[in-house]
Amino acid sequence: MNQEEVLNLEFDNSNIENKKYAWWGCGSFGSAPKESDNIKFLLHKGFLSDDDTGTFNIFIPIGTQEVYFFIPKGKNVSVTYIQSAGVDVTSTFKIDPIFIEGIKGEILSYESWIGKIGLSGYPDIATYKVIIK
């Protein structure tokens, strides 16, 4: 494969054109972004499958007070706390509709999932596994 073929592969986004992102992060109370542009600037993101399903882990530093993720609206979601034998913490999240501007300027219906861990957070590094079906 020559350099031109490699460059064409790198810029061929036809296989991702119709896929949507999930974004996630964590921080202090009130740190979850509330605007489309701020969500798109989150460091952690990944493409979902063609039917907007997927799985990702949120790694939570010691003392973190808030965990959040943003996914397409209307999906079934479960969140488990890995270090506590996979306990289901889905119900600890507050879910609100939010609109995110897509790459072509279209408005996409998403959900904002925000979970409060507590004032002092976890005493050790923790992991939440998010499964979107």
Q: How confident is the model at residue 16 (pLDDT cuts 50, 70, 90)?
A: low
Let me know: does 22 contact 40? Beta carbons within 8 Å.
Answer: no
pLDDT of residue 8: 39
Rounded-to-integer distance, Cα 65 and Cα 101, Å: 28
Percent of the chain with pLDDT over 70: 87
- The residue segments making up the domain with residue 49 are 20-132
Q: Is residue 85 part of a domain?
A: yes
Q: How confident is the model at residue 18 (pLDDT cuts 50, 70, 90)?
A: confident
* Residue 63 main-chain phi, psi, to 5 deg: 85, 0
Q: Is residue 88 part of a domain?
A: yes
Residue 125: is its pLDDT beyond 70? yes
Using alpha carbons, list the distances in angstroms from residue 34 to 11, 69, 87, 113: 31, 11, 28, 11
Domains identified in the chain, total number: 1
Short-list 73, 78, 75, CA closest to 100:
73
pTM confidence score: 0.85
